[in-house]
Structure 1
Amino acid sequence: MAFAALSSGVSGLTAFTEGIGIISDNIVNVNTVGYKETRSRFTTLVTETQSTTRFSPGGVAARAQTLISEQGLLRSTASQTDLGVDGAGFFVVRAAPSANSPDGEIQFTRAGNFTPDSAGFLKNTAGNFLLGFPIDSQGNIPTNIGDLNTLEPINVSGLTGTAEATSEVSLRANLQSSLTATTTGGSGVGGVVAQGDLADGTIPPDFAQTITVFDSQGSSQGLTLAAVKTGTNTFRFEIFAQDPTAINVAETPPGLVMSGEINFNSDGSLASFNQEFPNAVLINPANGQQISPTANLNFAGGASTETVTFNFGRAGDNDGITQFDSTSTLISSNVNGAVFGNVIGTNISEDGVVTALFDNGLSRDVFQLPVATFPNPDGLTRLQGNAFGVSDNSGNFSVVLPGTGGAGTIAPSTLEASTVDLAEEFADLIVTQRSFSASTRIISAADEVLEELVRI
């Protein structure tokens, strides 16, 4: 029995030594961003016996439990790239920029103190690279966000001096309804207004306005939007290059991009578009549907051919091109594409959209941050650098967009504080140290008993 008491005391020394180590780790990480407190959980060691009249001492064992799911306090900072997760979920990171490197395994962290390194990659103080889904020039992310192979290290420095070609033009304009219809003088049969008559100057337009588009090399070109009334609630509408030697040079007439007839309802709202060039098609959707013809821009300067969508508005609505008895005018136009300057900063929204800011006042969405969630985050494996890895206890992860699927949102210019309560840790340290001392007394008492037995 004395030997059993001795073993019980030794188990206490081992368990409470581990407990002091856990508390020490918590204390030294009280200022570590995103650190999750670990608690000592003690459990009995029971030696089974068949006797009901005798007791066999067992001992105690320590079990460490990291409270990973506990939310830390979010503190504001002055850096746009300091990030916190407000709610459940983790940032997806790698210890190396490439997935093919030895350290390229996916990891998860709440430590969002990211800063650009010398190559422009966003890394936290542990050296982990922040990963995100690239956003293309149309603002789309990969459709299968569960495929981790589409994740890339976030880097915006490579965008300096880049260009984005125009792919979409949205128009809001009014064409005056009381204009006199032009029915003669055109190149069509009987002198009617025909395709290309506005582009080559055969018929003077009732309305003309120039907008600027961009090619894939960043060069700007002018497109003229022109219209002439040809009948009741009908206008011929053409789009052509301001410089016929720059765009669609081979067309007839040179520079012609689009030609057709816009039809309006009796209330002045857009009804349909009967496109003649570049494709003969009648766009006549139900009310509320977009009228969006497309055309190719063949740039003469060596840039690639771009297919551009022209949004005229919704059928039966007044959100695009309309016909009212007020002066014909271009109310607004929204043209994407641009030539970007030097990157001067990065902005990250609560939705996790990373936006590059340029010195010429432009901005561009370049990455979408995902958030990884787990069925049991407290079961994750602790890794170097305040990161975590998947384990059998955590379950498999789900990669979702911030604020969806139970995931928290991104808190920009914010860092999550350590969840360690310093006062509680010091109190636990005193109790654990006293428990350690008590275990040494058990060993001393057992030693005295054994000494008496030897003397007998």
Structure 2
Amino acid sequence: MSLSSAINSAVSALNAQSSALAMVSNNLANTSTIGYKTTSASFSSVLAGSMSSGSGAAGGVTVSSVANVSGQGLLETSSVSTNMAISGSGFFAVSGATDDNTAYYTRNGEFSVDSDGYLTNNGYYLLGWATDADGNITGSATANGLKPVDVDSISTIAAPTTTMSMIANLPADAATNATFTSSVELYDSLGTAATSEVTWTKTGENTWTASFADPTLASDPTQTVGTVTSDPITITFNADGTLASTDPASPTLTIGSWTTGAASSSVALDLGTAGAASGLSQYSAGTDTLTVDLEAKQDGVAMGTLTGVEIADDGTVSGVYDNGMTRSIFKIPVATFTNADGLSAMSNGIYQATSESGGATLRISGTNGAGTIYGSQLELSTADTNEEFAKMMAAQQAYSGAAQIVSTAKSMFDTLLSAVR
């Protein structure tokens, strides 16, 4: 084994430990980077020749980087509703532009809404599947169905009245053919507020009818905006004042010919439970002036505008509106890989699929081995300061030892040259 071989081996050690220190430095620099995954040094020995009879040529060492992409960082609560994190395996799918079909992947969930309404992070657009109001994916739940998540795609929303519960006491001491009126508020499919007058008529002992007038505009009672097409409802009470039955058994208020251009309405009416006084009842009022005070609750709402975004644990992106409604807009998939550590790393915490990683498989959050998406949370860097400092000291010691080998070999060369002289 020659002095030259010793120097070559030591030089390879200097190069390897320098690379290892660079990896440690990069890890320490990214201890606060959201979703950052550490890189570790992997050393391999190199033999310059065979060793026999107690002699041989010194080799050296090489180093390669090992990406710990599949490592899990701690989750931290965020005050930003559009921030999200994945607990478990998988990545968010992103694209470099709204019209870019190339998918990239990241664990950095620090997304925010840009000026155009898209969820973006460091210039990359979050990809998801569009959904209907019930959260069902409307297109293909594949890579071809992915599109940039645009929270402004449904910036306004309204809901028609489809159900209405009615609570009132119809005075038992009213005379036959006596009539009373009250009103109910309802909304058409365009969110237009309207009012319909209900006429209660006592037709006999323990028997009443309820008829609805054509709805008028809530802001202008003189303007009729629709036509009631359903028949009056017959209501029968028991001798104890509780509701006995209604005809039809499942009463419905139907309205057509909305002048607003809205679709025809069908409102299921809940008048109470037979044998109970939970809805309509008939008891003596005991006063000279008889009235019907109606309490009606319905599920329609006027038009509302988008005020915020919420992200559920199943990856559903919902819009929050100022009329109190919340509607599903997109579903965010989790992209998993056979070998996530084989992904190619890019700047800004972005990864690209390679032949080593395999192609992405898109899954619903928390299903089939995919990690779970958590809204208003962020995944912290996997870099541990204590661990990185330990690696740094080990690299420093190894580097110093290799440098000492070079220094010693130089001294030995100097001694040899002196002997020649």
Q: Which category describes the TM-score, using the shorter chain as reference length? A: 0.7 to 0.9
Matched, 1:164 2:158: yes
Structure 1 residues 151 and 141, CA, compared in 2 at 3 Å: closer, same or farther?
farther
Unaligned regions of 5+ residues in structure 2, if any?
A: 217-222, 237-242, 282-293
Structure 1 residues 311 and 36, CA, compared in 2 at 3 Å: closer, same or farther?
farther
Structure 1 residues 59 and 292, CA, compared in 2 at 3 Å: closer, same or farther?
farther
Matched, 1:115 2:112: yes
Cα deviation code 1:156-211 (max 9, x no counterpart) = 35655x34353x723556899xx9xxxxxxxxxxxxxxxxxxxxxxx999998735
Structure 1 residues 403 and 224, CA, compared in 2 at 3 Å: closer, same or farther?
farther
Structure 1 residues 419 and 145, CA, compared in 2 at 3 Å: closer, same or farther?
farther
Cα deviation code 1:44-102 (max 9, x no counterpart) = 22456495764343322212122222221222233223322233332222232x1x34x
Task: Kindly indicate whether the alpha-carbon contact (under 8 Å) linking 1:175 and 1:322 is maintained by their aligned counterparts in 2.
Answer: no
Cα deviation code 1:275-327 (max 9, x no counterpart) = xxxxxxxxxxxxxxxx99997854323x3536x665679xxxxxx96433536
**C-alpha distance in 2 between matches for 1:371 and 1:38:** 23
Matched, 1:407 2:370: yes
**C-alpha distance in 2 between matches for 1:50 and 1:214:** 90
**C-alpha distance in 1 between matches for 2:45 and 2:246:** 80
Percent pairwise identity: 27
**C-alpha distance in 2 between matches for 1:292 and 1:406:** 48
**What is the match of residue 286 of structure 1?**
none
Task: Kindly indicate whether the alpha-carbon contact (under 8 Å) linking 2:202 and 2:208 is maintained by their aligned counterparts in 1.
Answer: yes
**What is the match of residue 95 of structure 1?**
96
Task: Kindly indicate whether the alpha-carbon contact (under 8 Å) linking 2:184 and 2:197 is maintained by their aligned counterparts in 1.
Answer: yes
**C-alpha distance in 2 between matches for 1:19 and 1:236:** 87
Task: Kindly indicate whether the alpha-carbon contact (under 8 Å) linking 2:252 and 2:266 is maintained by their aligned counterparts in 1.
Answer: yes
Matched to 1:399, the amino acid is L
Structure 1 residues 171 and 305, CA, compared in 2 at 3 Å: closer, same or farther?
closer
**What is the match of residue 286 of structure 2?**
none
Q: Paired residue for 1:246, among 225, 241, 262? A: 225
Q: Paired residue for 1:347, among 302, 305, 310? A: 310
Unaligned regions of 5+ residues in structure 1, if any?
A: 180-202, 248-254, 275-290, 314-319
**C-alpha distance in 1 between matches for 2:102 and 2:382:** 26
- Greater CA radius of gyration, 1 or 2? 2
When normalised by structure 2's length, the TM-score is: 0.73
Equivalent positions of 1:220-369 (< 5 A) are 220-222=193-195, 241-243=214-216, 245-247=224-226, 255-258=227-230, 297-301=256-260, 303=261, 305=263, 322-324=273-275, 326=277, 328=280, 334-336=298-300, 338-341=302-305, 343-369=306-332
Matched to 2:375, the amino acid is P
Q: Tell me the secondary structure at the aligned position of residue 16 of structure 1.
A: helix
**What is the match of residue 192 of structure 1?**
none
Matched to 1:340, the amino acid is G
Q: Tell me the secondary structure at the aligned position of residue 308 of structure 2.
A: strand
**C-alpha distance in 2 between matches for 1:260 and 1:377:** 66
**C-alpha distance in 2 between matches for 1:402 and 1:93:** 16
**What is the match of residue 129 of structure 1?**
125
State the Cα distance separating 1:446 from its structure 2 match.
5.4
**What is the match of residue 41 of structure 1?**
42
State the Cα distance separating 1:390 from its structure 2 match.
1.7
Q: Tell me the secondary structure at the aligned position of residue 11 of structure 1.
A: helix
**C-alpha distance in 1 between matches for 2:59 and 2:247:** 87
Matched, 1:219 2:171: no
Structure 1 residues 364 and 228, CA, compared in 2 at 3 Å: closer, same or farther?
farther
When normalised by structure 1's length, the TM-score is: 0.68
Count of aligned positions: 393
**What is the match of residue 135 of structure 2?**
140
**What is the match of residue 219 of structure 2?**
none
**C-alpha distance in 2 between matches for 1:370 and 1:362:** 24
State the Cα distance separating 1:422 from its structure 2 match.
1.0
Matched to 1:339, the amino acid is M
**C-alpha distance in 1 between matches for 2:197 and 2:356:** 64
Task: Kindly indicate whether the alpha-carbon contact (under 8 Å) linking 1:379 and 1:393 is maintained by their aligned counterparts in 2.
Answer: yes
State the Cα distance separating 1:428 from its structure 2 match.
1.0
**What is the match of residue 32 of structure 1?**
33
**What is the match of residue 252 of structure 1?**
none
Structure 1 residues 363 and 399, CA, compared in 2 at 3 Å: closer, same or farther?
same
**What is the match of residue 290 of structure 2?**
none
**C-alpha distance in 1 between matches for 2:199 and 2:354:** 64
**What is the match of residue 288 of structure 2?**
none
Matched to 1:130, the amino acid is L
Q: Tell me the secondary structure at the aligned position of residue 357 of structure 1.
A: strand
State the Cα distance separating 1:28 from its structure 2 match.
0.6
Task: Kindly indicate whether the alpha-carbon contact (under 8 Å) linking 1:85 and 1:410 is maintained by their aligned counterparts in 2.
Answer: yes
Q: CA RMSD in A?
A: 4.6
Q: Tell me the secondary structure at the aligned position of residue 399 of structure 1.
A: strand
Structure 1 residues 356 and 163, CA, compared in 2 at 3 Å: closer, same or farther?
closer
**C-alpha distance in 2 between matches for 1:269 and 1:408:** 54
